[in-house]
Amino acid sequence: MRRTRFESIGRYTPETVRSTEELVAALAVPGVTNLDLVTGVKNRRVCDSHPQRYESSFELAEHAIADCLRRSDYAADELDIIISASITRTRGKGIHCGAPPFALMLRNAVGATLARCLDVSNACAGMVTGVLVLDRMIKAGVVRNGLVVSGEQLSPAAETAVREISTRSDPQFSALTLGDAGVAVVVDDRGDDDDEIHYVELMTLAEGAELCLGMPSNRSNGIALYTDNRAMQTDTHYRQGLDRIATVMAKAGNGLARENFDFCIYHQFSGPVIEYLHDLAGQRFGEPVPTALNVLHDYGNTGSTSHFLVLHEHLRQQRIPKGSKILMFSQASGIVSGGLATTISRLEA
């Protein structure tokens, strides 16, 4: 069987930094304090809104692809497929683009003239889903390589939340953790013992499909994020996701200890919840879970890009030695859960 690997990674994050303190100061509802401690988010990056420099999710994705290909052995016209996984698909202020596919427009913009195009939509599990699809296509012999990209311009939902939140139990509260980012990865068929995507597995619990919805605001013209955290963030859902990963490991004849992971990465949505989930994973597997890598404090929840933004940032800071084995725990609205296991040696940021 063909072995796959992450061949290169790139990212783009806007220059503007907005603090949680600034957001809280703009809220109409009184009595909100220490939101950074409650959420684990101190800062996030937000797109430039100047008409001449406007950064939509398309620009974020385009810049991330350019950064990724600078570190790749592949030129744009050597890519077999581009998969776009963005939740937000903006091409200008207030312009949400459902068609044509983002992947097609990105292909044309970066000159990947021979690449096939595919959009996937799976909420904050989007890039992991894109890698799953590409991994399967390479192993089936359909393509030899491809690029998975996401640009997430989520800050407009945070701006709507600041304007509209009226109580501390408002379903838009989670939107205050959102930040903007673009990330891209190239995956190819040259995996070996030093660089390999071991497996990608996801599971959807359809009963939670309406617990976190990004949609036009029901009060204004803005885009809004409505989340029922009490119903979605439960031990039952966490344990179902951990059970799925344990089942995948068991089918391979392994457990967490035998997999010998060096690091794990969770979806960056809540600092306290990530810590709780980390402890819960230790209980489920009956052994310590490897060190968790995070960027939540500085970048917030960047939607589908979050796992790979963590990977890129820690590679950039040279905190991941070559040959490290990493487990990504995927949690997303939908409800989607699962994992991606990989060994990386080649990637640089």
Strands 145-152 and 181-188: antiparallel
The pair phi, psi for residue 280, each rounded to 5°, is -65, -40
> Stretch 20-26: mean pLDDT, rounded?
92
What are the residue ranges of helices labelled H in 27-154?
35-39, 57-70, 102-110, 126-139
Report the pLDDT value the prediction gives residue 261, as an integer from 0 to 100: 95
E strands present in 13-163: 16-19, 43-46, 81-84, 90-92, 95-96, 116-119, 145-152
Indicate if the pLDDT at residue 193 is higher than 90. yes
Report the pLDDT value the prediction gives residue 106, as an integer from 0 to 100: 98
Indicate if the pLDDT at residue 31 is higher than 80. no
Report the pLDDT value the prediction gives residue 176, as an integer from 0 to 100: 95
- Please say whether the dihedral angle defined by the alpha carbons of residues 216, 222, 223 and 227, taken in this order, is positive or negative: negative
Give the tens place of pLDDT for each residue, 256-276.
888 899 999 999 999 999 999
Report the pLDDT value the prediction gives residue 68, as an integer from 0 to 100: 98
Give the separation between CA 310 and CA 160, rounded to whole angstroms. Answer: 26
Give the separation between CA 82 and CA 184, rounded to whole angstroms. Answer: 10
> Stretch 269-294: mean pLDDT, rounded?
93
Indicate if the pLDDT at residue 126 is higher than 90. yes
Indicate if the pLDDT at residue 32 is higher than 80. no
| Distances from the Cα of 38 to the Cα of 5, 73, 262, angstroms | 37, 43, 28
Neighbouring CB atoms inside 10 A of 48's CB total 14
CA nearest neighbour of 181 among 76, 278, 265, 307:
307
Give the tens place of pLDDT for each residue, 213-255.
999 999 988 899 999 988 988 899 899 889 988 988 888 778 8
Neighbouring CB atoms inside 10 A of 181's CB total 32
Give the tens place of pLDDT for each residue, 308-323.
999 999 999 999 999 9
Give the separation between CA 116 and CA 72, rounded to whole angstroms. Answer: 19
What's the mean per-residue pLDDT of the chain? 94
pTM: 0.95
